[in-house]
Amino acid sequence: MILASLRANFNGSCRYHAIRGSGISVAGQWGARACSSSPNHPKGSTWELLNRIPTPACLDPSSPQAQETSTSTFFPPEIEALYRGNQRFRDAVAASATPDVLKDLAAQGQRSSDATVGPPFLLLDCSDSRVGEQVIFSAEPGTLFTTGNVANQFHEHDLNSKAVLAYAVEALRVKHVIVMGHYGCGGVAAATLAQEARDEDDPVQAWIAPIRQIYETSERPEIASHRAARRQTGTKVALPHLHDTGFRALVEENVKANVRRIARSGVISNHYKSLEPERTGVFIHGWVYDIESGEVVDLGVTVGPPGRKIPLTPFPLRS
């Protein structure tokens, strides 16, 4: 949609960009396309102002100009879309109420030298491309310290998970750790299917094994009914639908399980034992994002330091 709109604005200007010395020929599978606007695109033109990239050589390969431009390159549309998005982000920051936020963060680091300013959240979510933390919460840079993997898993034996948690709690001194799953999670869906012999060496299958264990042992009615129906149908069943109640329940139970794992981890146990009186301590929350509606719900499983009051959240509660 973004690219279509931009191309319409440029009245069909071509997608070839002359980069001398690139060594990549414009000829080949992309074919030829002539430029409908001025081939020179003078300084200050719409193209130059909006794209902020070298003026394109909108050339017919058979023209004299094309013969002189022996090297040029094509920007794949998906990469060009990222570039344009980056430009919009920079423009939005410059026009915001805090135009120097990036410079300030670059100068002070994620946490200020006096330890008074830093990201309040560590967010562990899924790697799913439909789950964009900064977008979901309209969060400014410096708000979320994030990590993600397939089906938002935390494992004590996973060095990456442990290192991220330790750095967030001990160095950045975050106030909240959030495990955020999402309905429609492919990793959770795969855990509802019978594992075949050929899957034994599959790293994804090994990674989601704890979710499969939840699916096979949970007594939650929605999951138990889903499991019974699957066994009656046999192993050759399709992935569950987005609105399948058993599937959605498993997404929630997976989040709850990971909240418990984090709460029992060595990092959090040591943090609670050595907690200074003046520090509130870290709270661990379990939330779920609805990819269809954009809503975030709180599962009501927050864990905090012993003796400390659990803070309320304004998110809808779903137990």
Q: Which residues are catalytic?
A: 126, 128, 130, 182, 185
Residue 44's alpha-carbon distances to 41, 49, 158, in angstroms, are 8, 6, 52
Secondary structure of 191-203 in the HEC alphabet? CCCCCCHHHCCCH
Sheet holding 144-149, edge to edge: 144-149, 121-126, 176-182, 283-289, 296-298
Q: Which two tokens stand for residue 116?
A: 């008074």
Q: What DSSP character marks residue 111?
A: S
Q: Pick from 128, 237, 130, 136: which is nearest to 186 by CA?
A: 128
Distance CA 205, CA 190 (A): 8
Q: Which two tokens stand for residue 33?
A: 């396309």
Residues comprising the chain, all counted: 319
Q: Where are the alpha helices (DSSP H) in 156-219?
A: 159-166, 186-190, 203-207, 209-217
Distance CA 181, CA 214 (A): 15
**Burial letters 232-249, b for 16+ CB under 10 A, else e:** eeeeeeeebeeebebbbb
Q: What DSSP character marks residue 168?
A: I
